[in-house]
Structure 1
Amino acid sequence: MPKHPTNFYYALVEMLDNRFYILLNEHYPYLAFSSAVDFGNIKFIDRHDLNNRFSSYYRILSKRELSTPFNQKNLNKSELNRAELDQITFWEPQTVGQVIFNYWD
């Protein structure tokens, strides 16, 4: 189970002089990479060199996808449950990444 109050698991990876995080959504098979994981401030990065290692199991989300501005009006409400919709309304996330990897669940 993720650390409260996040809705995602994360692991710090250190390879040679490179340090980054792997993030996995708790409810959906969405995986992403970041250079920092701080409350309300995740800095998403791309790690194309690792995509093949995870893509058979997870949907790898790119920095571009996660940085896309989130527009609640364009939301496909059939994909989310009532609690998720309520949280989105309350927290007003600015990007898709803030919806998928958040601190309010």
Structure 2
Amino acid sequence: MFRLERGVTGFRSAKEPELPEVPVRTFRRGCYEAARAAGGAVEQLLGSAYPRSFHSAVVVTSNDQLAILCNAMYPLIAFAEVGTGDLEPKAFVHPPTWAAKFSEIGFVVISRQVLDSPLGAVDTAALGKAEWMQIDSWRPASVGGTVFNSWD
């Protein structure tokens, strides 16, 4: 069963320890390696910024254009259709074959099935009280909407 770790939403209470961080340079490295494997190019790359809980990039290949999302706290990767100019995903998609490059350097590539699942389908025991307050407020429809959010 897929497990959501404490802080994956980007929220914590003041009494909880600081959240881990995935450096944007680590994500950048993965994007460039994956783009090379795909015969494509990284077109845009943005580090997480309030209120987004994720870094994002767009990789363009000869026959496709995909958004890559990376949770800013944990090395979790998702793929999505390219959305608006601020890289908000339209819909999660199955990881392409070249997503394996992310796994090779320590990222966890999340399947579309898990991303589209309701929270009840994954282990949420590690989530903190502050996270549950946000979840109760925003009511995300899926695991993907919880892990890759723009809540403020």
TM-score after normalising by structure 2: 0.59
Q: Write out aligned runs for 1:29-48 (5 A).
A: 29-38=75-84, 42-48=90-96
State the 1:84 CA deviation.
1.4
Q: Which runs of 5+ in 2 are unaligned?
A: 1-46
| Aligned-partner SS, 2:81 | strand
TM-score after normalising by structure 1: 0.82
- 1:19 corresponds, among 61, 65, 86, to 65
- 2:113 corresponds, among 51, 55, 64, to 64
Identity among equivalent positions (%) equals: 29
- For residues 52 and 82 of structure 1, do their structure 2 counterparts lie closer, same or farther at Cα, with a shift above 3 Å needed? same
Matched, 1:76 2:128: no
How far, CA to CA, are the matches of 1:42 and 1:62 in structure 2?
Answer: 16
State the 1:102 CA deviation.
0.6
Aligned length: 103
1:37-77 deviations in Å (ceiling 9; x for gaps): 458753111123123211131111011110112339x7633
1:50 is matched with: 98
Q: Which runs of 5+ in 1 are unaligned?
A: none
Higher relative strand content: 1
Which is higher, the Rg of structure 1 or of structure 2? Answer: 2
Matched, 1:7 2:56: no
| Aligned-partner SS, 1:85 | helix
